[in-house]
Amino acid sequence: MKKLLKFLFYFIIIVISAFAIFLIYSSIDDYKPAEKTTVLISENPDLLSDTTEYTLMIWNIGYCGLNKEMDFFYDGGKNVRPSEEKVKENIQEVKSFLLQNQNTDFILIQEVDKHSKRSYYFNEFDTIANAFPERTCVYGKNYDVFFVPTPPTDPMGKVNSGLMTVSKYTPEISFRHAFPGNYSWPTGLFMLDRCFLVNRYKLTNGKELLIINTHNSAYDDGTLKAQQMAYLKTFLKEEYKNGNYIIVAGDWNQCPPNFTPKFKENKMDSIVKTDISPDYLPKWNWLFDNSLPTNRRVTAPYKKGETLTTVIDFLLLSPNIKGISVKNIDVGFEYSDHQPVKASFKLK
């Protein structure tokens, strides 16, 4: 009996020590990006016309692991990833869809993995960038953890992921801007470090066009989103005051102001619906399509008419930009838990 108790005592000490070492290493290795990081500086940037109509696409590809058959443990499901063959198929189908829309001027993508266990370490950024050899592709990392220990039965493990902007034109400069705030320790060690990715383009009228790729927080109580939105507002107001033209597009993880869905074949997710305040930059223009959802709940595989859906992927335009069109593209959530959005705009 004494030997058993002694064994249990040492076993508990070893487990506690191992966990403590894991937390210490995670804290030391924690990704701590600067507030502003330069991603690209071009010696020969393109000069964009201030009278041309431009097109832009948004798509959160869900690391090519959240296809329509998937549920996800963060959403109340059980799974982290599908089979390796399915991830590979999803990557190829995403690439194929993007190539079908290769004439789009700006393609803003979220949840693009570079080296993650959840996507079997496929380099999704390289796969997409290699499909667009004539384009300028930039990357803003927002998730870099050596080992995510949840869920305990099948840990997510290594994650290296971020935002990707594919541009027909070469920007003058691209930079990653860190959003403020994160979860408290130790949870924050294993969560995303949210950011927005900015491409600056020279215009023929002497001003600049800013194309901003964003991915705001999910799974928080609203505190992080509020900090991020306040920080973004300050940045946008300063840039607009300088006479620049600005578009923010991506996965906001919240609905546009006063959002009223007009879905015909899908259910609206009103359980945790959060709308951006109408007072947020009231003179700016929100460009979104309310006829089709862009995102689904991942508590269970997708079923049209049963799965709860919403619109959290859309655009914000500065007052000197006119939105021409916007359309959510129905791909049946086949390869991601988000659907693409395509829009066109013109500078005033």
Are residue 21 and residue 167 in the same domain, yes or no? no
- Do 2 and 147 sit in the same domain of this protein? no
Q: How far is 145 from 117, CA to CA, in rounded Å?
A: 11
217 and 303 in a common domain: yes
Q: What confidence score (pLDDT) does residue 271 get? A: 82
Q: At what angle do helices 84-100 and 124-131 cross, to 10 degrees?
A: 30
Cα distance between residue 232 and residue 20, in whole Å: 37
Tokens 């383009």 sit on residue: 201
- Same structural domain for residues 10 and 144? no
Instruction: Mark whether 121 and 174 lie in a shared domain.
Output: yes
Coil, strand or helix: which one is 91? helix
- Which amino acid is residue 71, in one-letter code? D
128 phi, psi to nearest 5 deg? -75, -45
Clarify whether residues 236 and 104 are in a common domain: yes
Helix (H, G, I), strand (E, B) or coil at 167: strand
What residue has token string 């949870």? 187
Q: Are residues 224 and 330 in the same domain?
A: yes
Q: Are strands 106-113 and 53-60 parallel, antiparallel or unpaired?
A: parallel
**Nearest by Cα to 138 from 203, 33, 212:** 212
How many independent structural domains does the chain possess? 2
CATH number at residue 306: 3.60.10.10
Backbone angles phi, psi at 19, to 5 degrees: -65, -40
12 and 68 co-located in one domain: no
- CA-CA-CA-CA dihedral for 316, 254, 59, 324, to nearest 10: -30
Asked if 57 and 92 sit in the same domain, the reply is yes
Q: Which residue has the tokens 């505190």?
A: 223
Predicted structure pTM score: 0.94
Q: How far is the C-alpha of 255 from the C-alpha of 272, rounded, in Å? A: 11
Question: Do 45 and 162 share a domain, yes or no?
Answer: yes
Residue 26 and residue 41 share a domain: no
pLDDT digits (tens, 9 = 90+) for 94-130: 999 999 999 999 999 999 999 999 999 999 999 999 9
pLDDT (tens, 9 = 90+) of the chain, 348 residues, equals 666 666 665 666 776 766 667 666 677 767 788 899 999 999 999 999 999 999 999 999 999 999 999 999 878 888 999 999 999 999 999 999 999 999 999 999 999 999 999 999 999 999 999 999 999 999 999 999 988 998 888 899 999 999 999 999 999 999 999 999 887 787 777 778 899 999 999 999 999 999 999 999 988 888 899 999 999 999 999 999 999 999 999 999 999 999 999 999 999 988 878 999 999 999 999 999 999 999 999 999 999 999 999 999 999 999 999 999 999 999 999 999 999 999 999 999
Residues 261 and 113 in one domain: yes
Q: Which domain holds residue 247?
A: 34-347
pLDDT at position 6, please? 65
